[in-house]
Amino acid sequence: MGFKFQNVDFLHLDAGFSEDELLVRKTARGFVDDNLVPIIEECFREGRFPRELIPTMGELGFFGANLEGYGCAGMSNVEYGLVMQELERGDSGFRSFVSVQSALVMYPIYTFGSDEQKNTWLPALAKGEKLGCFGLTEPGFGSNPGGMTTTARKSGDGYILNGEKMWITSGSIADVAVIWAKVENEDNRVRGFLVETDRPGFSAKDVHGKWSLRASITSGLSLVDVHIPASNLLPGTGGLKSPLMCLNQARYGISWGAIGAAMDCYSTALQYAQTRKQFHNQPIASHQLIQEKLVWMISEISKAQLLSLHVGRLKDAGKVGHEHISLAKRNNVWMALETARMARDILGANGITDDYPIMRHSMNLESVKTYEGTHDIHALILGHSITGIAAY
C-alpha cells in the first residue's frame, strides 16, 4: 500500500536552488525511490541493513560527498544536505550509515590525517569498498565525552589501546574504526587513532532488541591491548575539539535528513486524508481538525527547510558557527518527530502498520533526537551561545 512521494515545497524554495543542486536532489531521490523504498519495510522488520546498496551509492558519490579530491564528489554543503534529506526520507538508519561513513570517518581522515592516511583510506571509503565507524561514545559516557575511559599508551614504535565504545553505527562491518582515546603519556590528552578492525584485541558485538534504526547496524566495540603503529595516529587531532568538529559535520547533515523524514510523513498523511472517507462519505481532509494538523506540519517543515538552507549557505560561505548547526539539528528533529506523531494521528489505526512509513519514521526519529547531542544538550549549547554562560 502506501503512496508515491509528492514533493513538499510550499514556499517554492526549488526556484532558489541551482541546476546542480536540483540535479543532485533528483539523483538522490531517484536512488531512494528505485532502490530503498521497495525494500526498507522488509529490512526494518527483519533488522537487516541493506549492504547490497553500498556499491551504487559509491558510484553516485554519496560517501564524503562534500569533500574535495581522493575520488570524492566535491559537492557543496547544500548539495550534500539535499542528499541527506533524500536518504532519510527513505530511512533514518540508512542515512545514519552514510553520515558516519562521510562525516565521522572520511571527514576526520581528510581534516586531521596524514597524506599517507588520506591516500590509503579516502578513495576506498568514497567508493564504498571500505567501510568505517566512529568510536567516541562509551557505555558510561555519552553526553559527557570528556569522561571517556578509553586509553592509549605509547609503547615502542606505536600505541596500545584499551577501552570500550557503545552505540557505534556500522561497528561490526567496518574495516577501520576512528577511535578517540586519552593518551596516558600526554596528560590524558584526547587523540584520534585509526584502528583496523582485524587487529588482535579488537572486537565488535551488535546491539539487538532495538525498536529504532532497525535497518542500521549498531555495535559495541571492545579494545583489549590493541597495538597499532605510530603512523595510525591522526596527527592533526588534539583535545575534545577534534571529535566535536566531526560531530558538527554529522549534525549538519542530520538537520537536513530530519526534513526528509518529515516530508515523507506529511506527504503520506496528506494523500491519506484526501482519499480516506468518513462521515457523510467525505474525505477526512475536509474536516477542520485534520486540516489544522496538516497546516501545522507544512508550516514547520517550511520553516525547517528555510533554516537548513540558510545554515547550508552559511557553511558554504565559511561563516557557520557550531551554535547555528545545533539550532538546526535541535529544531528540525523535534519538528520531524512531532510531524510523524501527527501523521500517525491522521492515519489512525493504519498508521501503526508497515503498509505506511509513519511508525518506522517515528521510532527512528526517537533515536535521532538523542544521538549527535540530545535535544537537551543542544539547548545547553544554545544557552551558552546566547548568554555567554555555560550551564554544563
Q: Which residues contact 356 (CB under 8 A, 6 or more apart)?
A: 1, 2, 268, 272, 347, 350
What gap in Å lies between CA 331 and CA 386, rounded to an integer?
16
- Spell out the residues 6+ positions from residue 382 whose beta carbon is closer than 8 angstroms to its own: 323, 326, 327, 330
Q: Which three cell numbers stand for residue 242?
A: 577534534
Active site residue 372: yes
Catalytic residue among 21, 79, 300, 372: 372
C-alpha dihedral over 21, 27, 33, 39, to 10 degrees?
A: -120
Query: In sequence order, which residues have a C-beta less than 8 Å from that of residue 291 and are 6 or more positions away?
Result: 285
Q: Please tell me the distance from the alpha carbon of residue 1 to that of residue 357, in angstroms, as a whole number.
A: 10
Residue 357 φ/ψ region, left for φ over 0, alpha for ψ in the -120 to 50 degree band, beta for the rest: alpha
Q: How does DSSP assign 88-106, residue by residue?
A: HHH-HHHHHHHHIIIIIII
Nearest to 371 by CA among 142, 204, 47: 142
Residue 172, Cβ neighbours under 10 Å: how many?
A: 18
Nearest in space to 326 (alpha carbons), one of 392, 239, 234, 228: 392
Active site members: 372
